[in-house]
Chains A and B, each alone.
Chain A
Amino acid sequence: MISLFKAVACRAHGHQQVPFQSCLKILAAGMKSFTVPPDYSDVVLPEKPKLKFLNKVPNLKKAKKEMRKLRDIQGPAKAANSFDKGQFGILAMGGGYLHWGHMEMMRLTINRKMDSRTTFARWRINAPYKPLTRKSLGHRMGGGKGAIDKYVTPVRAGRLIVELGGKVELGEIEEVLTEVAKKLPFPAKVVSRESLAEMQRTQQEMEQNNQNPWTFKRIAQGNMMGLRRVISPFDLHNHGRFSGKFHFPWRV
């Protein structure tokens, strides 16, 4: 009797298995929680949101030739090293000279790619003002300094080049900015207010939590083993973090 019942049960089970599995459908209900969109109520767009045209040549009565003065791209930036009005920008990670061509490239790319109804852009550099001289092609050496060839803008490491802001998030304009940053004559990267603050904070933390008791500052200021002989006075201030126009952010 029991065996018969078992057989029936098995058959029934075998019969039912296929249709049961085929119509078995797991219905899952859930709540989709969307992230809260950022609040742009206090953002005021300026009247002219696009990048201004920068003069190729400064309007001077008398153009004077200058010395090379490479010091103006050496070391960390003293001006325009923090955000003013915008939220996102291009940060120079080394020193260099920007000429009018670079500025036109930046202006055209950013103005074309950005949405001027929601975004604004601002220059954080001046128009080219430093004259560079050059002797004409095929000219013999001697005979004094050459004529002014072009004007450039010196940029030190840590300076912001362009600032963007408005009712945008970083993801929307990062592509444009990285595209521009790649073409600049010095290493540059895209930063936002938060990431710049984060960079400064990590740098401070590195200085505080350095487990190496021998820091550049200590050795240079103490003139240990007479090492001031090979260290420039420039290093006394920057503690080996800058060498000429080059910047080493991983050093403390």
Chain B
Amino acid sequence: MAATLCAKLLPKHGWLPLTQSVRHGSKAVTRHRKPIPFLKQKLLAVTQYVPPVRGAPPGAYPSKSQEDQEENGFMRLQKNHLRKVFEDCRMIAVVQNNNCNAEDMLILRHRLHKHGISVKFFPKKVTLSFLSNSSYCNMAPLFIGPSVLFVSKEPKVREMLSTLRASPQMVLLGACVDDMLLSVQSLVKYSKLPSMTVVQGELVSGLTMLTSCTASMLQRHPAHLSVLLQQYVKQQSDAEPAAKAEEAT
């Protein structure tokens, strides 16, 4: 019977038995963890949960609304002071303060005070808000980190540089001298320039030398010509009697 059935059914390809007689047994193993096939282990490893990247904590960046709100009276007062400083002073140097202690700062202040340079501290928020609205807005990038202003009514760059050489904590970033924004290199060049009176004297002396030179040249030239002419006349007069003598012979 089975043989005949097989003979009848075998030629049909792609036929599946209607009822599967394979016994699978109990699969819901619950007493222990089932050994996991390698492929499934890989699948589980690939499909693990990956948490999203944590953003910056809420207090990390100041909010823009906070900046607008904190325009109080004290800030306005400081801003007015700063405006006065910028109006009065011809030299405004921005110096980065790298953890300078009070004693060093006192000594530095004293040394600068000898040359009439004063040290001013302004909060960064105040300075930036002042600079953004003023014509000095190009100075804003200099105010990074704790910064100090060295201001003086006269542009005493050389004295300031020599004083700053003694204090390595203070790093000069740039300065605004006579409404001119200068970098450190240009400040050094500026300091090497002679003083204004010397330059003016040099200029005057140069100009006077030129005029005297032309005057002397002007004086010299006609005399020289007359001498030359006299020489020529003299030579001519010497040559004439000789020529007459030759004709005669």
Residues of chain A touching chain B, judged by Cβ–Cβ distance below 8 Å, are 68, 70-71, 73-74, 95, 206, 209-212, 214-216, 219, 227, 229-232, 240, 243-246, 250-252
Contact between B33 and A212 (Cβ–Cβ < 8 Å)? no
Residues of A within 8 A of B39 (CB): 227, 229-230
Contact between A214 and B47 (Cβ–Cβ < 8 Å)? yes
Contact between A244 and B30 (Cβ–Cβ < 8 Å)? yes
Interface residues on B, range: 20 to 34
Residues of B within 8 A of A250 (CB): 49
> Looking across the interface, which residue of chain B has its beta carbon closest to that of A97?
B30
> Looking across the interface, which residue of chain B has its beta carbon closest to that of A208?
B52
Contact between B50 and A210 (Cβ–Cβ < 8 Å)? yes
**For chain A, what secondary structure do more than half of its interface residues adopt (helix, strand, loop), or is it mixed?**
loop
**For chain B, what secondary structure do more than half of its interface residues adopt (helix, strand, loop), or is it mixed?**
loop
What is the minimal beta-carbon distance from A242 to any residue of chain B, in angstroms?
11
CA distance A68 to B29 in the complex (A): 11
What is the minimal beta-carbon distance from A104 to any residue of chain B, in angstroms?
24
List 23 A-B pairs, Cβ < 8 Å. A70-B30, A206-B51, A210-B49, A211-B50, A211-B53, A212-B49, A214-B46, A216-B44, A219-B43, A219-B46, A227-B39, A227-B40, A230-B39, A230-B43, A231-B40, A240-B47, A243-B36, A244-B30, A244-B33, A246-B33, A251-B48, A251-B49, A252-B49
What is the minimal beta-carbon distance from A92 to any residue of chain B, in angstroms?
14
Contact between A244 and B34 (Cβ–Cβ < 8 Å)? yes
> Looking across the interface, which residue of chain B has its beta carbon closest to that of A211?
B50
Query: Within 8 Å of chain A (Cβ to Cβ): is B37?
Result: yes
Residues of B within 8 A of A229 (CB): 39
Residues of A within 8 A of B37 (CB): 230
